[in-house]
Amino acid sequence: MIEKTPEKIFQDIKDVTAVAVAPGNANTNHYMRGMANGLILAEAIIEDKEPKYIEADAVNEFTVAQYQAEAQRTKSEQFHVGIFKVQCDRDILHAVIGIATEGAELLDPVKKAMFYGRELDMVNLDEEIGDILWYVAIYCEARGIKITDLMRQNNAKLKARYPEKFGSQQALFRNLAGERETLEQNDPHAKALSEPQPLKEVVPLAADDEEFAGPPTFDPPNKSMPGSLLRPATSAPVGNSPAPAGYKPKGFA
């Protein structure tokens, strides 16, 4: 075994650190970022200086930003509105319509698998999901925000709705006013999202519009509920009562 001097050991640590912090390594995932920060700390201790850690936001930020920028290269510059007076940003309109059409195309391979007996075409599903992501990138660029801004905003809303984990009561009896407040608190245009925003825990509303104290494990009474605050409205099954004929619950997303 070759003995190394302290200077050689320190140089080896610096060499490994240089590789670990390079783009494509430290920003690949949080595990790699943790390894890089550990080496940064070791180097700082030896040199008796403050470590300059790689922030969590740096992970995958470059990749997402690069994708958003690349998407702009392939967007259409045409806008045929004909006789219609469309008061909307062209790219936002393009993105919204495109997301809706690609979402419909997602159903085709599922239909063929369910009703025609074909194997579910996962490659086709991946393709359509990728197309939706392209439209999301177009939308974000038109709004002047990053895809990661929407990710943070959506995560804040879902944390407010489900503080611990998914629950049917929180999904069925959403406090839309509270969720809207959380969305506005995390609006990329209202406040920079570089710093975490405080989350307001959204407690589902009772049928009489009074908030329940404690965990949302209530069994609300079967009475009329205002549709502007609660979802679903009066046609929804409440508690353990059976669902009315023809009732279809709305999506939980």
* Amino acid code (one letter) for 129: I
CA dist 213 → 116, 164, 165, 205, 206 (Å):
50, 16, 18, 10, 10
Host H or E run for residue 159: helix 147-161
Confidence at residue 67, expressed as pLDDT on a 0 to 100 scale: 76
Which stretch of 40-44, 48-52, 159-163, 207-211 has the lowest confidence by average pLDDT?
207-211
Q: What is the pLDDT of residues 206-228, one digit of tens each?
A: 544 444 344 444 344 444 433 33
Q: What is the pLDDT of residues 107-119, one digit of tens each?
A: 999 999 999 999 9
d(CA 213, CA 209): 13
CA dist 226 → 173, 216, 252 (Å):
11, 19, 18
Give the global pTM.
0.51
Task: Scan for tokens 């990138």, then name that residue.
Answer: 137
Confidence at residue 127, expressed as pLDDT on a 0 to 100 scale: 95
- 135-151 average pLDDT score: 90
Answer yes or no: is pLDDT of 235 > 60.
no
